[in-house]
Amino acid sequence: MTLNLFYFLSFLAVLSALMVVFSKNPVYSVLYLIITFFTIAGHYILLDAQFLAVVHVIVYAGAIMVLFLYVIMLLNLNRESEPHKSNILKFAAVICAGLLLVVLVGSLKGTEAIVQQSGKAGIGYVKTLGEVMFKEFLLPFEITSILLLAAMVGAVMLGKSEKTNDTI
Amino acid sequence: MENPNLAEYLPIALMFIFALGFVVTTMIATHVLGPKRKSKIKLDTFECGIESKGNARIPFNIKYFLVAILFVLFDVEVIFMYPWAVNFKSLHWEGFIQMTVFISLLLVGFFYILKKGALKWEE
């Protein structure tokens, strides 16, 4: 049952991820990306990480997708002005993505032992996560707030026009 | 990958199935039941009664994007509060102080945003 569900979710995830790349309209790509995010959330549930699954849906499928849509609208992708990529560029992109895949697979191959170790029940509950976060990983948690602060300042600095050129 | 409590997710799965099924059946039903009139005026882009001109894809104001990105940042902040809220009693004052440090750092950012007037539309 679990294995069948895993295969189904994986198939859906890979298919929608491919559709993200191959669809001509960038807005369709975003919609397919939402399906991909939902299937990845399903994978999280299969891995016993319930909180992560819910957060993934809320933050990625909810908030980040809006940002993606805004970026697409900011880019002004008209059908006429859309740049036609040459074959050399496509070839280079395939090589770059393939190298990234090799690096990811290579780095994740060694983690098999760790995954099997942490197979006890309730590892993904909010309660367990909170206990770990506020005791063992307190410093990274506090540093996260600095990261968010830096992101806020950066967004305001880049997005807010200064008083001097405010005549628009 | 053996998950014994997968049956617990049956209500959630049912909800997803019904939500998706409702959308699919409504779309199919409207296509089947609705009348098909394909005149030029019917298929024209409707824009509050005003005649539409130009392209819909114009570059729009960066302020929308700024508001959206600030929303995402505070959204992430709230998500960090869930594990704290669930463990609120067991973490005692220690956890409260840790969370206060976290929130106060973000409050600095919040006041920075307010002072810079990033959320002010007219300017």
Could you tell me where the beta strands, DSSP code E, fall in chain A?
Answer: none
3-state secondary structure of A99: helix
Q: What is the mean pLDDT of residues A56-67?
A: 87
- pLDDT digits 0-9 by tens, B71-98: 888 888 888 888 888 888 888 888 889 8
pLDDT the model gives residue A79: 61
- pLDDT digits 0-9 by tens, B34-67: 888 788 777 777 777 777 777 766 767 778 888 8
Does B66 lie at the interface with A, CB-CB under 8 angstroms? yes
Does B7 lie at the interface with A, CB-CB under 8 angstroms? no
Half-sphere exposure of B16 (CA within 13 A, CB side): 8
Residues sharing a CB contact under 8 Å with residue A76, sequence separation 6 or more, in sequence order = B57, B58, B59
Percent pLDDT > 90 in chain A is: 21
Q: What is the mean pLDDT of residues A40-51?
A: 86
Q: A9 is written with which tokens?
A: 């979710």
pLDDT the model gives residue A103: 93
pTM of the model: 0.76
Q: How far apart are CA B91 and CA B100, in angstroms?
A: 13
A18-22, A24-28, B81-85: the lowest-pLDDT one: A24-28
A39 close to A16: Cβ distance less than 8 angstroms: yes
Chain A, residues 40-79, CB within 8 A of chain B, namely 45-46, 48, 51, 55, 58-59, 62-64, 66-67, 70-71, 73-74, 76-78
Q: What is the mean pLDDT of residues A128-142?
A: 85
pLDDT the model gives residue A36: 93
Q: Which residues of A touch B65 (CB under 8 A)?
A: 67, 70-71, 74, 159
Residue of A nearest to B57 (CA): A76
Residue A113 banded pLDDT, cuts 50, 70, 90: low
Return the domain boundaries, chain B: 6-116
B57-84: burial string, b at 16+ Cβ within 10 Å, e else: eeeeeebebbebbbebbbebbeebebbb
- Nearest-CA neighbor of A142 among B89, B77, B73, B82? B77
> pLDDT: is A91 or B118 the higher one?
A91
Number of inter-chain CB pairs under 8 A, A vs B: 134
Does A81 lie at the interface with B, CB-CB under 8 angstroms? no
Angle (CA) A88 A89 A93, round 5°: 115
A52-61, A63-72, A106-115, B30-39: the lowest-pLDDT one: A106-115
Q: Which fold has domain B6-116?
A: Methane Monooxygenase Hydroxylase; Chain G, domain 1 (1.20.58)
Q: What is the mean pLDDT of residues A61-88?
A: 76
Q: Which fold has domain A2-124?
A: Four Helix Bundle (Hemerythrin (Met), subunit A) (1.20.120)
CA distances from A89 to A92, A93, A95, A96 (A): 5, 6, 10, 11
3-state secondary structure of A8: helix
Residue in A59, A63, A160 closest to B118 by CB:
A160
Residue A116 banded pLDDT, cuts 50, 70, 90: low
Give the Cβ contact number of residue A84 at 10 Å.
5
